[in-house]
Amino acid sequence: MKVYQHTIKEPVTISGVGLHTGVVSNMTFEPAPPNHGIKFQRTDLSHQPIIDADVDNVVDLSRGTSIEQDGGRINTVEHTLAAIAGLQIDNVLIKLDGPEPPILDGSAIQFIEALNKVGFEQQGAQRNYFEVPESIYFRDKANEIELAALPSEDYRVTVMVDYKSPVLGSQHASLNNIEDFSDQIASCRTFCFLHELEELHQRGLIKGGDLNNAIVIVDRVIEDDELDQLAKLFNKPKVEVKKEGILNNVELRYPNEPARHKLLDVIGDLALVGRPLKAQILAARPGHASNIAFAKKIKKLMEQEKKSIVPDYDPTLPPVININQITKILPHRYPFLLIDKIFYLDDTYVAGVKNVTFNEPFFQGHFPGNPVMPGVLQVEAMAQIGGILVLNSVPDPENYWAYFLGIESFRFRKMVLPGDTLVIKCELLAPIKRGIAKMKGTAHVGGNLACEGVMTASIVKKDS
């Protein structure tokens, strides 16, 4: 699994009809900066709203997963998201001039091919994995659905389906390495049973349905007059059933293609938790409703863990922002640049490091016979790391100043001495409004709390 975040090298567009809406649309994948995440944009609407790929934005699960935000709705996002997650793309803006991504052949393979064609760019930020700390379970007893996420050092998914159908039977599929998604899972198409077609049609769905973009499983005896009706439904001169119980003799790409497609759907739906996962996922008879309910449980645990986390600094890993990049963001220079690296950064949380050495200039005059890092400089180091966090909220941080406005409730718990590594965390206490940010800061040495407090900062454009 990748250590760094990735985006695509250049835009790429795919066009086609939406499965349920029947609307032809153009979908353009565009590169995005680090920590941007996966976002859709409805370019056909007057205010061109941005819709975050977030499980909290799910509004409908009628034979697909639909998300909505700020008056913009995107239907049937799961195949698109599965392709992005399968390629381990972290940051992308998906512009759509219609309500639904193209269904194409009913799988994710054409998205994969298009994205592979433009290639990928490694970015200067580490991937923000959520490592499942304990077993998470979801059960729907009425429908005999079960999902579990178990702790793992990588991302694995196993799916079992059993529709009690003599045609489909019991099937299972596994993906033991996310790197194999493109070859083993991406080409597997969506499917439904023949008895579901009429209901879906009456509900105003599958307006873009075609025998070229879905597998229709025939699970009962079918008469010639019904075949004629199906031909009209799919705008075909003729449809037939010859073998394997598949309408119009469509050849399966794998004997267990339906199970593999369900696995594809699980990966796409779980991408809505907003972070790449390290977990072993086990799913029995999953569907979109259960996938989303499960994703919400995972996200809830993710948020709880984030609130209580103490930075786990691993010096062997490359920094998210190194010292050369820090000097492009902050105006501070020797002897007043007091941070060395940033090892974690997202929209609300930052963690960085100050290596304290005896060569620090302040030790010449501050207790020279008993060197102790001044508390006020610990606060300044914390303010500089907090400055990285607030400047991360604007697309061009080099054009802004971050000013320190105030401190509250600061406490110093442990002396900081030469040779110590000060690990500093700052977390927003509320969203940034009108350029004002309030954050809680903590600093640790060897896992022990050195100081903590609340700071307020302001970001001001340099031209103003």
Residues in the chain: 464
Specify the DSSP element, H or E, that contains 295. Answer: helix 288-308
| Rounded CA separation 155/131 (Å) | 9
Beta strands in 275-415 (DSSP E): 277-284, 341-345, 349-355, 400-412
Peptide bond into 431 cis (omega under 30): no
DSSP three-state, residue 348: coil
Which of these is catalytic: 20, 288, 332, 444?
Answer: 288
DSSP line for 240-263: -B-STTBBTTPPPSSTTHHHHHHH
The neighbour count for residue 167, using CB atoms within 10 Å, is 14
Q: Whose CA is closest to 192, among 74, 75, 288?
A: 288
| Rounded CA separation 329/322 (Å) | 11
The neighbour count for residue 33, using CB atoms within 10 Å, is 14
Which of these is catalytic: 36, 172, 332, 366?
Answer: 366
| Rounded CA separation 388/353 (Å) | 12
Could you confirm whether 20 is annotated as catalytic? no
| Rounded CA separation 320/103 (Å) | 37
Name the DSSP class of 65. -
Could you confirm whether 261 is annotated as catalytic? no
Looking at residue 282, its amino acid is L
DSSP line for 368-408: TTS----HHHHHHHHHHHHHHHHHTTSS-GGGEEEEEEEEE
Tokens linked to 35: 């920590």
| Rounded CA separation 227/105 (Å) | 22
Q: Which residues are catalytic?
A: 288, 366
